[in-house]
Amino acid sequence: MTTNKGDMGVRRFGAVNWLGTWTLARREVLRFMNVWSQTIMGPLVNAGLLLLIFTIAIGSRRGDVMGVPYMEFLVPGILTMTVIQNAFANTSSSITSAKVGGNIVDTLMPPLSAGELLVGYLSGAVARGLIVAIVIGLGAMVAIGVPLAHPGWALVFVLLGSVFMGGLGMIAAVYAVKFDQLSAVTNFVVAPLAFLSGTFYSIEALPPALQTFGHWNPIFYIIDGVRFGFLGVSDSAPTLGLAVVGLATVLVLTLVWYWLRVGYRLKA
């Protein structure tokens, strides 16, 4: 008994299982890095193709949007859409695969609290989103000449967007019992929210009803915040966006934490 208590004291220094949390986070990062051609290169190619298609189809014929060339306006939207889709996919696919494969118990049995599980899973989502954002951003700055007016704001919204969407991915995965249900959430919830959030246009171009919907959509503020970080222009104040996305993220993570704590739809 004495040895076990000592081991637990080392493992949970400061009442936090740092080793366990780090191990889970490392596993989540290695999980997508081991198939980087699918999880990293694939989204990057898709983003590049979107930019290429818009360049060929529209090019300089499209007028400025919010005072900047359309191709520059487009980059932050495509970058953010790619980031949030990847952050959502990382947590949702990890948990759903474990549930469907019957090995979710391997993650639940170690002495990890709900908060530690949450941090471990979100680490993979944030790492994947950040890698995608850096590569697309650097590529756009070199190839198109997109500026980086406020790098701090861009980084904050990329990180916060990755955490928010990673949390949503965990909610979808915990609730889903098979991949079909997860795909339905991706296709009928995540994709419409992203496309109706000003990815390819200013939200002011939408009809009034859709503008109202957009202003209640946290993803709009994520995209708008990243656009402000790159171009220095936005549809709303970045401080307002930070408050909205921050509150939405807290609500999402609180629900995920509670579900992990009680084992909702995870424990047999």
In a domain, 226, yes or no: yes
* Over residues 211-220, mean pLDDT: 90
In a domain, 185, yes or no: yes
In a domain, 127, yes or no: yes
In a domain, 268, yes or no: no
Tokens of 38: 């699918």
Look at the chain and report how many structural domains it folds into.
1
Mean of per-residue pLDDT scores for the chain: 89
pLDDT at 222 over 50: yes
Residue 211, pLDDT score: 85
CB-based contacts of 166, cutoff 8 Å, min separation 6: 87, 88, 90, 91, 121, 122, 124, 125, 126, 129
Residue 191, pLDDT score: 85
In a domain, 13, yes or no: no
pLDDT at 31 over 50: yes
Least confident residue range of 56-65, 97-106, 118-127: 56-65
pLDDT at 226 over 90: yes
In a domain, 124, yes or no: yes
Q: Could you list the residue range(s) of the whole structural domain that residue 206 is in? A: 20-262
In a domain, 109, yes or no: yes
Strand pairing partners for 65? Answer: 68
In a domain, 14, yes or no: no
pTM confidence score: 0.90
